[in-house]
A and B are shown apart, each in its own frame.
Chain A
Amino acid sequence: MKLFTKYNRINLVVMVIIFLLSSCTYYFILNYVLNKELNEDMKVIQYKIQLYAATYHQLPTRSKNIDDEQISYTLTNQKDIPQRFEVAKEYDSHKGKNTSFKRLIFGLQAGDNQYIVSINKSTESTDRLLRIIAFITIGTILMIIISSLLINRVVLRKLWLPFYEAMAIIKDFKIGKKQALIFPKTTTEEFVFMNNNLQQTTLKAESDYLLLREFTENASHEIQTPLAIVRSKLDILIQDEQLTEQQSKTLLSAYAGIRKLSQLNQSLLLLTKIDNEQFTDIMPVNLLEKIQEKTEQFHELWLANNIRTTFQLENACINANNELIDILLNNLLSNASKHNTPNGSIHIQLQPQSLVISNTGPDHSLNHFRLFKRFYKEEQHSNNNGLGLSIVKQICETSGITVVYQFTEGRHSFCFSW
């Protein structure tokens, strides 16, 4: 629910309640005042009749009747009739409907006769007045609701425009793009405050991110030289003919360690470089040729590991960075070979707009959510750094390729489409 709809709802409810309360109060006060007035009027008439009867010892003449009030006299034997007011309804043949009356009844001594006098006065006009008040109240409430809805639609949309524009800009914001956020100018204090804060926060995030990236790059580079020294020392050391078998094994472990470290380093550097968008050289890459070249490279490895391969290759071309596509295919084919089962198989299907690489492997699906995360490992396999697939993902993102992982009938497939 929109902020203003919420606000409006509360506002309207309160306003309707206040209006109802005030109009009720108004109604009761007015009713009370008019009633009192009516009673006074009738009392004045009563007084006049009583005065007349006391003076002339007879009833006033009928001609005294005025339109509005009707006075009737009834002979009675009763004495001491209490004075009382009552409300009555009577059929008015003129108007053809029931009309309300206020009636004052009292006893009257005129000469020797005892009468019951009843003064009837129509309350029609009072009722009409009250009805009009009710109509006006309801009308006002309706008008307030309609006008606030209209204001919401027209004026508020305009007032909130800077907010929605700022949100659209923030939505497009991607860290590491090195683009300054430019918010539309606004004079609303809250939006100025919001925009300033957003600007500062994103600038800070951006600079922190750049620092971190620079740090990763520098750290990776700095590690390369010591690694080169260690590896070269090992290369010298193994020339010694006096080495025992045990020592050789130790040295081999050291080699493996250096290799892992160096690969990890290069993977991190690569990720940073893709983030930095340093692979800007986009050109059409012939995927068919690329894949044929790769399968030739992997041929011996597959042969040695008894991995059967089947290919279904059509001509396909993609607009991307050549080096990245190379890395992508290397990573995928390495994975398909490494995580395969003994006597397993690899199938590559290339179509003009898609590439599917599927292989036999572990008998369960990989974790879809964490698969492409950095340092994700299905098991703590010693030979993987867990960066291969996150590099694949990153390359796909920068090259506009969609990648989907599937596990069906014991085969792990990576499907790419562009």
Chain B
Amino acid sequence: MKILVVEDEKSLSESICSYLSNENFICETAYDFHTAAEKIHLYEYACIVLDITLPHGNGLQLLKSLRNNNKNEGVLVISARNALNDKVLGLNMGADDYLTKPFHLPELSARIAAIIRRKSFDSNNIISLGNLILNIDDKTVRGENNKSIDLTRKEYELLVYFISNKNRVITKEAIVEHLWGDDITMADSYDFIYTHIKNLRKKLVQGGCPDYIKAVYGMGYKFSAHS
């Protein structure tokens, strides 16, 4: 699947591509308005990551022309402006999601994965990994022998987040921000997520899955799965 990253800051663009590129995704970049317009016109992408402020134009204009041409690519708008107006405007113009800088790359990755899942028409509402099967529609998880694994809402969200970022180290900070939002300023320590991780690990192992989740020092966790 191809992803187009439209971002004028080259180093940020590089980071995004470096993080996203794996067995599933191929990243292309555009650093200004015209290049982006050309690429969007010529090729088809699974998802477009779109910065609003661009040299020679505005990202929202690209979005508008994209939708006017009946192109149905998923669009994730990223912007330095955390204004609700911008957010609403972007979403009204047909963006699928909106992310404010500075974001965590795992968050971006999870949002892109979610957009792609929603956009695919071939009823891709199932995520499967080994013998683990997630049904996106009714939010159920099944393990070995199709045995149902009973997860709380937070544990389920955590699992989806991990799968969207598999084989990547995710900080506790990013996990907390994903699950609770960054409006809630918590204490310095993020150790309270340990309980959730522990329970999720236990339930997955009980469901007959390998112990996917590894702790990485004091840093965070990694969902290791090699298909």
A interface with B by C-beta (< 8 Å): 221-222, 224-225, 227-233, 235-236, 238-239, 243, 245, 248-249, 251-252, 255-256, 258-259, 262-263, 266, 269, 273, 278, 297-298, 300-301, 303-305, 323, 326-327, 330, 333-334, 337-338, 382-383, 388
A322 and chain B: residue at smallest CB distance: B84
Specify which chain A residues have a CB less than 8 angstroms from the CB of B83 in the assembled complex.
Answer: 273, 278
Supposing A239-B169, A255-B173 touch, asked if A228 and B101 sit within 8 A by C-beta, the answer is yes
Specify which chain B residues have a CB less than 8 angstroms from the CB of A305 in the assembled complex.
Answer: 187, 192
Supposing A231-B103, A330-B184, A338-B187 touch, asked if A236 and B15 sit within 8 A by C-beta, the answer is yes
A220 and chain B: residue at smallest CB distance: B80
The 8 closest A-B pairs by CB, nearest first: A304-B192, A232-B15, A228-B102, A224-B80, A228-B101, A235-B105, A227-B102, A224-B101
The residue from A222, A232, A248, A255 contacting B216, defined by CB atoms under 8 A apart = A248
Q: Is there an interface contact between A301 and B192, defined as CB atoms closer than 8 Å?
A: yes
CA distance A269 to B184 in the complex (A): 17
The residue from A236, A248, A334 contacting B218, defined by CB atoms under 8 A apart = A248
Specify which chain A residues have a CB less than 8 angstroms from the CB of B104 in the assembled complex.
Answer: 231, 235
Q: Is there an interface contact between B188 and A383, defined as CB atoms closer than 8 Å?
A: yes
CA distance A329 to B101 in the complex (A): 24
Supposing A228-B12, A229-B9, A258-B102 touch, asked if A301 and B186 sit within 8 A by C-beta, the answer is yes
Q: Is there an interface contact between A326 and B183, defined as CB atoms closer than 8 Å?
A: yes
CA distance A239 to B217 in the complex (A): 12
CA distance A304 to B183 in the complex (A): 19
Q: Is there an interface contact between A235 and B106, defined as CB atoms closer than 8 Å?
A: yes
CA distance A341 to B42 in the complex (A): 60
In the complex, given contacts A224-B102, A232-B16, A338-B187, what are 8 additional A-B residue pairs having Cβ atoms less than 8 angstroms apart?
A: A230-B102, A232-B19, A239-B168, A245-B217, A248-B216, A278-B83, A298-B184, A383-B185
Q: Is there an interface contact between B12 and A229, defined as CB atoms closer than 8 Å?
A: yes
Q: Which of B9, B16, B184 lies at the interface centre, i.e. has the most chain A CB atoms within 10 A of its CB? A: B184
Could you pull out 8 A-B pairs where Cβ atoms are within 8 angstroms?
A224-B100, A231-B102, A232-B12, A235-B106, A252-B171, A301-B186, A303-B192, A333-B184
Interface residues of B in 133-174 (CB under 8 A from A): 154, 168-169, 171, 173-174
B interface with A by C-beta (< 8 Å): 9, 11-12, 15-16, 18-19, 80-85, 100-106, 154, 168-169, 171, 173-174, 180-188, 191-192, 195-196, 216-220
Q: Which of A232, A297, A301, A330 lies at the interface centre, i.e. has the most chain B CB atoms within 10 A of its CB? A: A232
**A104: min CB distance to chain B, Å:** 110
Supposing A225-B101, A297-B184, A304-B195 touch, asked if A238 and B15 sit within 8 A by C-beta, the answer is no
The residue from A229, A323, A382 contacting B15, defined by CB atoms under 8 A apart = A229
**B25: min CB distance to chain A, Å:** 15
Q: Is there an interface contact between B184 and A238, defined as CB atoms closer than 8 Å?
A: no
A246 and chain B: residue at smallest CB distance: B217
CA distance A303 to B104 in the complex (A): 26
Q: Is there an interface contact between B105 and A232, defined as CB atoms closer than 8 Å?
A: yes
Specify which chain B residues have a CB less than 8 angstroms from the CB of A255 in the assembled complex.
Answer: 171, 173
**B48: min CB distance to chain A, Å:** 18
The residue from A236, A262, A273, A304 contacting B102, defined by CB atoms under 8 A apart = A262
Chain A binding site: helix, strand, loop or mixed by DSSP?
helix
Supposing A232-B19, A248-B217, A326-B183 touch, asked if A256 and B82 sit within 8 A by C-beta, the answer is no
CA distance A256 to B104 in the complex (A): 13
Specify which chain A residues have a CB less than 8 angstroms from the CB of B82 in the assembled complex.
Answer: 224, 266, 269
**B164: min CB distance to chain A, Å:** 14
Specify which chain A residues have a CB less than 8 angstroms from the CB of B186 in the assembled complex.
Answer: 301, 334, 337-338
B84 and chain A: residue at smallest CB distance: A323
Q: Is there an interface contact between B19 and A236, defined as CB atoms closer than 8 Å?
A: yes
**B105: min CB distance to chain A, Å:** 4
CA distance A367 to B204 in the complex (A): 51
CA distance A258 to B218 in the complex (A): 18
A263 and chain B: residue at smallest CB distance: B185
Specify which chain A residues have a CB less than 8 angstroms from the CB of B174 in the assembled complex.
Answer: 235
CA distance A258 to B181 in the complex (A): 16
CA distance A269 to B220 in the complex (A): 30
Q: Is there an interface contact between A248 and B219, defined as CB atoms closer than 8 Å?
A: yes
CA distance A297 to B154 in the complex (A): 11
CA distance A235 to B216 in the complex (A): 14
**A398: min CB distance to chain B, Å:** 15
CA distance A382 to B189 in the complex (A): 12
Specify which chain B residues have a CB less than 8 angstroms from the CB of A238 in the assembled complex.
Answer: 169, 171, 216, 219-220
Supposing A248-B219, A338-B187 touch, asked if A236 and B18 sit within 8 A by C-beta, the answer is yes
Specify which chain B residues have a CB less than 8 angstroms from the CB of A248 in the assembled complex.
Answer: 216-219
The residue from B15, B154, B196 contacting A235, defined by CB atoms under 8 A apart = B15
Specify which chain B residues have a CB less than 8 angstroms from the CB of A298 in the assembled complex.
Answer: 184
CA distance A228 to B183 in the complex (A): 18
Supposing A221-B80, A232-B16 touch, asked if A251 and B106 sit within 8 A by C-beta, the answer is no
The residue from A227, A278, A383 contacting B187, defined by CB atoms under 8 A apart = A383
B101 and chain A: residue at smallest CB distance: A228
CA distance A224 to B218 in the complex (A): 27
Specify which chain A residues have a CB less than 8 angstroms from the CB of B81 in the assembled complex.
Answer: 221
Q: Is there an interface contact between B180 and A297, defined as CB atoms closer than 8 Å?
A: yes
CA distance A333 to B173 in the complex (A): 19
Specify which chain B residues have a CB less than 8 angstroms from the CB of A337 in the assembled complex.
Answer: 186-187
CA distance A232 to B217 in the complex (A): 20
Specify which chain B residues have a CB less than 8 angstroms from the CB of A303 in the assembled complex.
Answer: 192
B82 and chain A: residue at smallest CB distance: A266
Q: Which of A222, A229, A262, A383 lies at the interface centre, i.e. has the most chain B CB atoms within 10 A of its CB? A: A229
Specify which chain B residues have a CB less than 8 angstroms from the CB of A383 in the assembled complex.
Answer: 185, 187-188
Supposing A232-B12, A301-B192 touch, asked if A249 and B218 sit within 8 A by C-beta, the answer is yes
